[in-house]
Chains A and B, each alone.
Chain A
Amino acid sequence: MTDQRSDQYILFTVAGTTYGLPSSQIAHVDLVEDITHVPNAAPFVDGVVFSRGQIVPAINMRARFGFERAPIDLRTRFLVTNTGNRVVGLLVDSCREFLKIDAASIHPPVDALGGAAGSSVSGIATSGDRMIVILNLNQLLASQDPILAA
């Protein structure tokens, strides 16, 4: 049923770079409400959010990619992802777009990315003159190693 060669992606920005995740992995996108700090959690985890009846851990994507945290503003969004066995929220600078991306226009990660970042990135897509970093959600969540910004 699903078109093999083009998928719907949700695009979001973190520190000026546009990233994409398959929309099938996003449960919903919320405005950022209260984040409850969890002491002694991983350094890039801001805490937990009570979203639609669930306790969802919040990964600060700026911190995850090694940037300074930015204050939460009106454009900040909370992407609740669902990998099938985990529900994790990503705190991103903004999230406003859906885009259908042809599989053919996604290029394998550039060798230069290397290291841990390489495994969290599944490809680079181009749309017009924009570059979109397609993330591998499972890899992103599985590792707690630092990821260098793409």
Chain B
Amino acid sequence: MTDFLDTFLDDYFAECDEHLTAVRRTLLALESSIGRSRPDPTITEELFRAFHSLKGIAGMVEHREIEMLAHEMETYLRAVREGEVRLTTAGVDRLMDAARLLEHSIAARRQGEQPIDIEPALAELRQISPDEEDSPPSSALPAPDSPAASWQCLFTPSPELIARGINVDVVRARLREQGDIISALPVVGDGGAIAFRFVFEGNPEIAERDAWVADGMVCSKIDDAAPVAVSTVVGERSAATLSSANHVRVDLARLDDLMRMIGDLVIRRARLGDAIARVESLVPSTDWRGIQENMSALERQLRELREGVMRVRLVPVAEMFRRVPFVVRDLARETGKRVTVDVSGEATEIDKFLVERMLDPVLHVVRNAVSHGLEGVDERIAAGKSPEGTLTLTAAAAGEMVTIQIADDGRGIDTARVIARARVAGLAIPAHVDEAAILELISSPGFSTRDASDRVSGRGFGMAVVRTRVQELGGAISLASTPGQGTRFTFDLPLTLAITDALIARVGGETFAVPQASVREVIEINTGGIHALETGELIQYRGAPVPIVRLSDALAIPVRPATRLHAFIVNAAGAPIALVVDRVVGQREIVVRTTSDPLIRVDGIAGATDLGDGRAVLILDVAALARQARRTRGIVPVRETA
């Protein structure tokens, strides 16, 4: 029962996150409507939908703070939409504060902490909303000037809505109740999602419209003639449509579980193969061929399944980019600058793990760009630039790499200042300082700029950490900067990391990683059970003699004698061989880095990884080790016989 509740709550939190993301994004867009008599209806409708859903799901889990906050936010927004109050900067700020409080409250609930005090925020929201008593329920409002206005209603079906029985026919029937349908057109959204655009004349009641919003219907008055939302919002909306209509949320841990299960299947298939091989002599050869064909098809399909799951880990870069406008807005407010964020290529896909690891570096560079790169309004005007600075985020895939660029049209990097600071920090200054050299200097651990704005942009995360993070992920970072014109950082990242499950083993004082896919089984052996023969050593494994290779011998590592050892059973040319280590200490997901330099290209070493302690750990190529052992020590694998 508790499990069910936990899962349920997990879903609740995940759904909250989704709506909060929408709220954050849309509130930013709402700013462009400040001072207008009526804000852009597509923006308010999206906010309504988010508030409405939040209220609904919070009600189900009895999360009172969320319910009340969302309700008050909705109330203010409704007043704005109906033109009862004008949208002000203070109003947007209140909404932003409330959104932040929503976030904190959800986080507190998730961590099982004390509920957050929302009363002051509620009071502030009530202050800017017209008194509830003074504004009677919407249905009692006098009908607007025109008895039958033209409305446009966009309905985007989704599996969730259809499951609730809301389809085009239901929508059409609802609209008919409220007016006359003039036209109905299917339209294709950016993500390939089908939506329906209805134009109808009528006078839908406001209460009715609120309910529609939760059902995927976005209605707006056509003669409102609101200007189209700013470019970034349009772009982001397409990504949002894409994600809600065509994507499902999957917890990374569940994907890892799937990977583990596939690993188990691979091992099970290998055992089945062995068992079948033992009965070969009992099966007529025609039947045998069929069995063999099925076995190899099974093997191929398992491999495809594994690759398929790996591909599922790819997520759109939008997950990372959509945090940027929010950060920029806060920072621009604090520094008194004006900044537009342009985003493109946010549908570019990248490994989920990379998105998580790259978020902080990207946000750091963004903060730097706003704090240092972009000039204040006065300085920009004096330089003959538009008062509003532009921050451009671009993502693009090229082959096996994904390029992420963060560019500003600010003042560019002041080379002299970087050199002066580097000198103070005691860094070596190269004779010719080009962009690569500047990047090197600002990414040095000792380099620090101590402007007042660094309090804002620093946050304990420097360029040194950014560069290390990028390199750790197998990527590269480069810089281009032109005085007076701007700065551009480019991250080149691998599309997906060579991530694999590995068993971690110790031999003598050394630690090694062994890719799990190459291991059939891990067994414990008693040194008493090792039989020394002229050609090598053997153990009994599943009733058959199996040759062993001691890694300590193969890799010339001194070890202390022990009575109990661990061994990896691996396949060498179709027959098992046991690779003996001191101890298997665990299983880890590792990032494979190739060791391609000729100096360390050694048979038996597939690459290296780090386990988080700054030490390089070698990844063994067990197949090569088995081959090598056969060559140098004359070990011949013994075919298993019944």
Which residues of A are in contact with B by a Cβ distance under 8 Å? 1-3, 6-8, 10, 23-24, 27-28, 33-34, 36-42, 45, 47-50, 52-55, 57, 59, 86-88, 98, 100, 141
Contact A39 B430 (CB under 8 A): no
Top-6 shortest CB links A-B: A53-B471, A53-B472, A39-B555, A50-B616, A8-B431, A36-B616
B132 to chain A, nearest CB (A): 58
Report B599-618 residues with CB < 8 Å from chain A CB: 599-600, 602-605, 607-608, 610, 614-618
With A8-B431, A34-B616, A55-B616 as known contacts, state yes or no: A41 contacts B610, CB within 8 Å: no
B428 sits at the interface (CB 8 A): yes
Contact B471 A41 (CB under 8 A): no
Report B541-574 residues with CB < 8 Å from chain A CB: 554-557
Tell me which of B430, B470, B600, B617 has the highest count of chain A C-beta atoms within 10 A of its own C-beta: B600
Report B331-379 residues with CB < 8 Å from chain A CB: none
Contact A34 B555 (CB under 8 A): no
Beyond A40-B555, A45-B600, A141-B599: 14 further Cβ-contacts under 8 Å? A7-B431, A34-B615, A36-B608, A38-B595, A38-B600, A38-B602, A39-B556, A41-B602, A42-B599, A47-B600, A53-B468, A53-B470, A57-B597, A88-B599
Contact A55 B599 (CB under 8 A): no
A150 to chain B, nearest CB (A): 22
When distances are taken between beta carbons in the complex, the residues of chain B under 8 Å from A88 are 597, 599
With A50-B614, A53-B471 as known contacts, state yes or no: A23 contacts B597, CB within 8 Å: no
CB-contact partner of A55 in B510, B554, B608, under 8 A: B608
When distances are taken between beta carbons in the complex, the residues of chain A under 8 Å from B86 are none
Query: Within the assembled complex, what's the spacing in Å between the Cα atoms of A77 and B614?
Result: 17
B520 sits at the interface (CB 8 A): no
Contact B430 A38 (CB under 8 A): no
When distances are taken between beta carbons in the complex, the residues of chain B under 8 Å from A48 are 595, 600, 608, 616, 618
Query: Within the assembled complex, what's the spacing in Å between the Cα atoms of A49 and B440?
Result: 20
Tell me which of A24, A55, A88 has the highest count of chain B C-beta atoms within 10 A of its own C-beta: A55
Nearest A residue (CB) for B555: A39
A138 to chain B, nearest CB (A): 13
With A53-B468, A53-B473, A55-B608 as known contacts, state yes or no: A40 contacts B614, CB within 8 Å: no
B593 sits at the interface (CB 8 A): yes
B588 to chain A, nearest CB (A): 15
B7 to chain A, nearest CB (A): 37
When distances are taken between beta carbons in the complex, the residues of chain A under 8 Å from B605 are 38-39
Nearest A residue (CB) for B556: A39
With A34-B614, A87-B597 as known contacts, state yes or no: A54 contacts B557, CB within 8 Å: no
With A50-B608, A53-B473 as known contacts, state yes or no: A59 contacts B428, CB within 8 Å: no
When distances are taken between beta carbons in the complex, the residues of chain B under 8 Å from A33 are 614-615
When distances are taken between beta carbons in the complex, the residues of chain A under 8 Å from B78 are none
- A selection of 23 A-B contacts at a CB cut-off of 8 Å is A1-B434, A7-B431, A8-B431, A10-B428, A23-B431, A27-B440, A34-B614, A34-B616, A38-B600, A39-B554, A39-B557, A39-B605, A40-B603, A45-B600, A47-B616, A52-B471, A53-B468, A54-B593, A55-B608, A57-B599, A86-B597, A88-B597, A141-B599
Contact A2 B432 (CB under 8 A): yes
When distances are taken between beta carbons in the complex, the residues of chain A under 8 Å from B617 are 36
When distances are taken between beta carbons in the complex, the residues of chain B under 8 Å from A59 are 599
When distances are taken between beta carbons in the complex, the residues of chain B under 8 Å from A39 are 554-557, 602, 604-605
When distances are taken between beta carbons in the complex, the residues of chain A under 8 Å from B597 are 57, 86-88
Q: How many B residues face the partner with a CB closer than 8 A?
A: 36
Contact B595 A55 (CB under 8 A): yes
Query: Within the assembled complex, what's the spacing in Å between the Cα atoms of A8 and B556?
Result: 42
Query: Within the assembled complex, what's the spacing in Å between the Cα atoms of A50 and B602?
Result: 17
B467 sits at the interface (CB 8 A): yes
Query: Within the assembled complex, what's the spacing in Å between the Cα atoms of A2 and B556?
Result: 49
CB-contact partner of A52 in B431, B432, B467, B556, under 8 A: B467
Contact B600 A23 (CB under 8 A): no
B251 to chain A, nearest CB (A): 27
When distances are taken between beta carbons in the complex, the residues of chain B under 8 Å from A2 are 431-432
Query: Within the assembled complex, what's the spacing in Å between the Cα atoms of A8 and B432?
Result: 9
With A1-B432, A53-B473, A55-B593 as known contacts, state yes or no: A36 contacts B615, CB within 8 Å: yes
Contact A38 B618 (CB under 8 A): yes
B602 to chain A, nearest CB (A): 5
When distances are taken between beta carbons in the complex, the residues of chain A under 8 Å from B602 are 38-41
Query: Within the assembled complex, what's the spacing in Å between the Cα atoms of A13 and B602?
Result: 29
B20 to chain A, nearest CB (A): 33
When distances are taken between beta carbons in the complex, the residues of chain A under 8 Å from B556 are 39-40
Contact A57 B600 (CB under 8 A): yes
Query: Within the assembled complex, what's the spacing in Å between the Cα atoms of A88 and B579?
Result: 31
Query: Within the assembled complex, what's the spacing in Å between the Cα atoms of A93 and B396?
Result: 45
Report B410-453 residues with CB < 8 Å from chain A CB: 428, 430-432, 434, 440
Encode contact with A along B189-227: 1 for CB under 8 Å, 0 otherwise: 000000000000000000000000000000000000000
Query: Within the assembled complex, what's the spacing in Å between the Cα atoms of A88 and B599?
Result: 9
Query: Within the assembled complex, what's the spacing in Å between the Cα atoms of A55 and B609?
Result: 8
When distances are taken between beta carbons in the complex, the residues of chain A under 8 Å from B604 are 39-40
Contact A98 B467 (CB under 8 A): no
When distances are taken between beta carbons in the complex, the residues of chain B under 8 Å from A87 are 597
Nearest B residue (CB) for A34: B615
Query: Within the assembled complex, what's the spacing in Å between the Cα atoms of A38 and B556?
Result: 10
When distances are taken between beta carbons in the complex, the residues of chain B under 8 Å from A55 are 593, 595, 607-608, 616
Contact A54 B430 (CB under 8 A): no
Contact A24 B616 (CB under 8 A): no
When distances are taken between beta carbons in the complex, the residues of chain B under 8 Å from A47 are 600, 616
Contact A57 B595 (CB under 8 A): yes
Contact B599 A24 (CB under 8 A): no
Query: Within the assembled complex, what's the spacing in Å between the Cα atoms of A104 and B616?
Result: 43
A76 to chain B, nearest CB (A): 17
Nearest B residue (CB) for A141: B599
Query: Within the assembled complex, what's the spacing in Å between the Cα atoms of A24 and B614?
Result: 26
Encode contact with A along B458-481: 1 for CB under 8 Å, 0 otherwise: 000000000111111110000000
Contact A49 B428 (CB under 8 A): no
Report B610-638 residues with CB < 8 Å from chain A CB: 610, 614-618
Query: Within the assembled complex, what's the spacing in Å between the Cα atoms of A98 and B426?
Result: 12
Tell me which of B430, B434, B471, B556 has the highest count of chain A C-beta atoms within 10 A of its own C-beta: B430
Query: Within the assembled complex, what's the spacing in Å between the Cα atoms of A33 and B510?
Result: 16
Query: Within the assembled complex, what's the spacing in Å between the Cα atoms of A27 and B618?
Result: 23
When distances are taken between beta carbons in the complex, the residues of chain B under 8 Å from A40 are 555-556, 602-604
Query: Within the assembled complex, what's the spacing in Å between the Cα atoms of A88 and B614?
Result: 18
B508 to chain A, nearest CB (A): 10
Query: Within the assembled complex, what's the spacing in Å between the Cα atoms of A26 and B453?
Result: 33
Query: Within the assembled complex, what's the spacing in Å between the Cα atoms of A33 and B189?
Result: 55
B428 to chain A, nearest CB (A): 5
Query: Within the assembled complex, what's the spacing in Å between the Cα atoms of A138 and B435?
Result: 24
When distances are taken between beta carbons in the complex, the residues of chain A under 8 Å from B555 are 39-40
